[in-house]
Amino acid sequence: MTPTPPSPRRNRVLPTGEIIAHPARGTFTGNRGILVGRDGTMSNRQWAAKAWITCLISFRGRRRPIAQPHTWTELFFLDEAVAFAAGHRPCAYCRRESYNQFKVLSGGLNAVDIDMLLHTERLENRQKRLHPVRLDDLPDGAFVLHDDTPHLVLGDKLLPYAPNGYAPPISRVNGPAQALTPPSLLAVLSAGYHPQLHLTAAPLMPR
């Protein structure tokens, strides 16, 4: 008898910031504090700290079991643009070069100030905060809601998001929209930060 594969853990982050269970693997990890209880089960909390960071999947050969109690809980993202949309910034430890560039482009704010600012921008009454924008003003790497589905902005296209990759693109039209990516992170993208994107977006990446 073929053994039943284990159910996926609830540790996958959507562009909306929601944490779900999904079997697809991410290209970045990160955390929002301790989200696993003493018994090792994932709580229903969406965050436990104001420092929401994005980390490398592999760093100096280190390994650790996931979903441990009493320590930060590993979350996973399709790519860095999804992490930005959810309100995460680069880790200052395992992604020092990216963090330093991010810090410069954010006006030189320190990590504590960045985290406090982002916390006001990503949540409203503990729910995802949307930001009115115009599509023609958005930089590559931003996320918007289009037909109630998260879409990545890339060139003159919008790429529908799915946990395992991006669907075929549609044309990007000008006009009003609701941005998922917080304003401070939109500003960093506009200033020249290039988030690392999933391979399903690679054919449309600007050269």
What would the pLDDT profile of 15-46 be if each residue is shown by its tens digit?
999 999 999 989 999 999 999 988 888 888 89
What 3-state DSSP class applies to 140? coil
Q: In whole angstroms, give the CA distance from residue 187 to residue 192.
A: 9
pLDDT, tens only, 105-114: 999 999 999 9
Q: What is the pLDDT of residue 125?
A: 85
Q: Which of 202, 181, 72 is nearest to 133 (CA)?
A: 181
Beta bridge partners of 79: none
Can you read off the two tokens belonging to residue 115? 């985290």
Do residues 154 and 81 touch, judged by C-beta distance below 8 A?
no
pTM: 0.94
Token look-up 């959810």 returns: 86
**DSSP letter (8 states) at residue 5:** P
Q: In whole angstroms, give the CA distance from residue 51 to residue 62.
A: 22
What is the band of 207 on the pLDDT scale with cuts at 50, 70, 90?
low
Can you give 75-110 as a three-state secondary structure string?
EEECCHHHHHHHCCEECCCCCHHHHHHHHHHCCCCC
Q: What is the dihedral of CA 142, 79, 46, 176, to 10 degrees?
A: 20
Q: In whole angstroms, give the CA distance from residue 20 to residue 75.
A: 10
pLDDT, tens only, 77-133: 999 999 999 999 999 999 999 999 999 999 999 999 999 999 999 998 888 999 999
Token look-up 């420092």 returns: 51
